[in-house]
Amino acid sequence: MDANQTDEQLLTAYRTGRTSALEELMRRHHDDLMRFLVRLVGDRSAAEDVFQEAFLQIHLSAGTFDASRRFKPWLFTIAANKARDLLRKNSRRRTFDLSSPIGGRGGDDDGATFVDLMKVSGMGPADTVQAAERDARVQRAVQELPPTLREVLLLAYFQRMSYTQVADVLGIPLGTVKSRLHAAVAAFARQWEHMNTRKPEGRS
């Protein structure tokens, strides 16, 4: 059964002509990859397009896959490259669908952590209105991150990839991953603190 095989075994089977193996890979990685892409490109419809393009590339490049390596980092490498292509085509930055808060100094977000930003929260209807304003602030802060910092942050925190895996996915040195992630956290923290300490307009 396809569902009982590893990703690598499935891709090997697909290369021998078992088309159901690729369908299983798409089902298996759909949710994780879509959440990553939505946060990276900022639009679910666009993320769906990138998802399809990534698996089309998997189909076209299946014969080049090194079966001694893991499939998931390879998939995310392809997807990240497709997403970069899309972002380069857009002249404006897109908004990001981030639903979890991040802790700041002061305000009602004390106690939350940066990792909370990358978690998918299961908010109910009663929480939606209360969270909407906070989510908008989170989105504005994340938009201040350049794509190179944003993608490192998403892979490391949301996908929980190791530094080595992030380096492999993005094709950058390990030291660059660490420095970019540090810069991303620091930049987000500064922006978030600025937004939460700024006085609302019309108030003294």
pLDDT of 6 higher than 60: yes
Give the C-alpha separation, 200 to 111, whole Å: 23
Looking at the 3D structure of the chain, how many domains does it have? 2
Better-scored residue on pLDDT, 7 or 141 = 7
User: Within this chain, do residues 122 and 169 fall inside the same structural domain, yes or no?
Assistant: yes
User: Within this chain, do residues 127 and 195 fall inside the same structural domain, yes or no?
Assistant: yes
Give the C-alpha separation, 96 to 41, whole Å: 7
Of 73, 94, 115, the domain-final residue: 94
* pLDDT tens-digit readout, 179-200: 999 898 888 788 788 887 765 5
Using the 8-state DSSP alphabet, how is residue 67 labeled? Answer: T
Q: Which domain holds residue 20?
A: 1-94
* Gyration radius from the chain CA atoms: 19
Residue 131, amino acid: A
User: pTM value?
Assistant: 0.66
* pLDDT tens-digit readout, 120-172: 444 444 456 556 677 667 667 776 788 888 889 888 877 888 999 999 999 99
Contacts of 170 (CB under 8 A, 6+ apart): 77, 80, 151, 152, 155, 177
Q: What is the DSSP string of 133-202?
A: HHHHHHHHHHHTS-HHHHHHHIIIIIS---HHHHHHHHT--HHHHHHHHHHHHHHHHHHHHHHHHSPPTT
What does the block give as tokens for 80? 């990240």
* pLDDT tens-digit readout, 95-118: 433 433 444 444 444 445 555 544
Q: In this structure, what CATH number is given to the domain that contains residue 129?
A: 1.10.10.10
User: Within this chain, do residues 130 and 114 fall inside the same structural domain, yes or no?
Assistant: yes
Q: How many other CB atoms are found less than 10 A from the CB of residue 165? A: 19
What does the block give as tokens for 3? 């569902």
pLDDT of residue 27: 95
